[in-house]
Amino acid sequence: MNEVILVRYGEIALKGLNRNYFIDLLVKNIKSVLDDYENVKVKKFQGRIIVYTNGYDMNELLEKVQKVFGIVSISPAVVIDKDIDIIEETIAQRALDKDFKTFRVSTKRADKKFPMNSQEFSAHLGGIVLKNKDGVKVDLHNPDVEFQVEIREEVYIYDEVIPGLGGLPVGCSGKTGLLLSGGIDSPVAGYMMAKRGLEPVAIYYHAFPYTSDRAKEKVLKLAEIIGQYIGKFKIYVVPFTDLQLKIIELCPEKQITILIRRYMARIANEIAKKEGLGSLTTGESLGQVASQTQESLFVTGEAAKLPIFRPLIGLDKLEIIEMAQQIGTYETSILPYEDCCTIFVPKHPETKPKLDKIKESEELLKDIAPDLIKEAVENSEIYYS
């Protein structure tokens, strides 16, 4: 008797001609989160994906597979031969192992040659359960457990359907540059866009020694946590100190934040060329801070050469915190290592920057900025989640 996980996918089944591509990608992503389990096999089979656990702990594998985007639901199941005695024995044993008062049996028959029809066979197996377990009864409408029997080439038996996260398989929409700080918001933003099928290349601007190496470790830890959903992805740790210091030295204080943002975007433009990115993603939410007004978002975005996705734009901080808690990044995000030293934060930041005034300030940097951008990209450290 083999233990397997039945994986059902939904939205991706609707994608017409791309269907096979989506399914193959989903198989690849499931394999990727099960990388450490050498003998686990993942196969596509008749409209679903089957994970052969090969003796590994079922709950451990379920927890990993459940986090893969593009899955509608999963069921831990056993696979047995198409033999009535074995089916009866298996269902009797499962009933004994489980705690319930009411149940029903449902049968699906892909193999129409099977001697009994689905209804007859469900009723027959219901009788087996009643005979083998005391104190239980059948409830067709609202049972505590539903034993499901699928008769195909082989027979699958299961009694649990665990919801998946939905979404699209990571990678099917291309790659995005995820501006990942150590805060609460950007990991949630990365999670949301990955759920729409975008594979992130994370970019963290590190102002060492104004920002400590512990802040960098924190960002890498956040990448590891969202990696449980997304699989392995690349992280650029960009040395950002020289450029920031030049901005502070040469430009009006109230513009610092917005200028820093525009140079972050320009560095991301360069990384985008190297990595084939089709968009950038940030954790910005309208009105949350001075740099997140309409005017500021416009001026920041103007420096980027790609669309900027801001999936949190219409959410409240409390809603974002709730999501961060759900996906498991919150506790790490609130660790106290500042992601930006206070010398880089103006006392009275501009909330309605004017593009022409900002461009005037950038004129003061025009001789040095291109080299500083180039060096920052070249000297980036590369990590993986």
**Binding residues vs ligand ATP (CB under 6 A):** 179-181, 183-186, 203-205, 282-284, 288-289, 291, 339
Closest contact distance (angstroms) between CB of 229 and ligand ATP is: 17
> Do residues 64 and 76 make contact, with C-beta atoms less than 8 angstroms apart?
no
Whose Cβ is closer to Mg ion: residue 114's or residue 337's?
Answer: 337
Q: How far is the CB of 266 from ligand ATP (least distance, A)?
A: 13
Residue nearest to Mg ion (CB): 183
Q: How far is the CB of 355 from Mg ion (least distance, A)?
A: 23
| Nearest approach, Cβ of residue 179 and ligand ATP (Å) | 3
| Residue 39 vs residues 8, 56, 196: alpha-carbon distances, Å | 22, 9, 30
Shortest distance, CB of residue 182 to Mg ion, whole angstroms?
7
State the Cα–Cα distance between residues 302 and 128, nearest whole angstrom: 69
We find the least distance from the C-beta atom of residue 343 to Mg ion, in angstroms, to be 16
Q: Which residue number, 179 or 377, has a Cβ lying nearer to ligand ATP?
A: 179
3 state SS of 150? strand
CB nearer to ligand ATP: give 61 or 290: 290
E strand residue ranges, 180-242 = 198-206, 234-239
**Residue reference for tokens 């939205």:** 11
Query: Choosing among Mg ion, ligand ATP, none, which partner's interface includes residue 283 (Cβ < 5 to 8 Å by kind)?
Result: ligand ATP
The option from ligand ATP, Mg ion, none interacting with 244 (CB < 5 to 8 A, set by class) reads: none
Measured at CB, which residue is nearest to ligand ATP?
Answer: 183
- The residues binding Mg ion (CB under 5 A) are 181, 183
Nearer to ligand ATP, 30 or 304 (CB): 304
Q: Which of 53, 41, 52, 116 is nearest to 82 (CA)?
A: 116
Q: Which does 184 bind (CB under 5 to 8 A by kind): Mg ion, ligand ATP, none?
A: ligand ATP
Name the binder of 179 from Mg ion, ligand ATP, none, CB < 5-8 A by kind. Answer: ligand ATP
Nearer to Mg ion (CB atom), residue 21 or residue 208: 208
Per DSSP, 140 falls in state S
Beta strands, E only, the chain: 2-8, 41-45, 48-52, 71-80, 102-109, 137-138, 145-151, 155-158, 162-166, 174-179, 198-206, 234-239, 279-281, 308-309, 381-384
Q: Residue 44: beta bridge partners? A: 49
Of the pair 168, 267, the CB lying nearest ligand ATP is at 267
- Judged by DSSP in three states, 307 sits in coil
DSSP at 183:
S
Q: Which residue has the tokens 């949630």?
A: 188
**Which one of ligand ATP, Mg ion, none is in contact with 228 (Cβ closer than 5 to 8 A by kind)?**
none
* Residue 147 vs 330, nearer CB to ligand ATP: 330
CA angle 146, 152, 156 (to 5 degrees): 40
CA-nearest of 177, 185, 224, 179 to 201 is 177
Least distance to ligand ATP from the beta carbon of 9, Å? Answer: 30
Count the neighbouring beta carbons within 10 Å of the beta carbon of residue 110. Answer: 11
Shortest CB 210 distance to Mg ion, Å: 14
Q: What single-letter DSSP state applies at residue 133?
A: S
Please choose which of Mg ion, ligand ATP, none residue 26 contacts, taking the beta carbon within 5 to 8 angstroms, the exact cut-off set by kind: none
Closer residue to ligand ATP, CB minimum distance, 116 or 248: 248
Considering the complex, state which of residue 212 and residue 288 has its C-beta at the smaller distance from ligand ATP: 288
Asked if residue 329 lies in contact with residue 237, where contact means CB atoms within 8 angstroms, the answer is no
CB of 270 to ligand ATP, least distance (A): 15
d(C-alpha 325, C-alpha 187), whole Å: 11
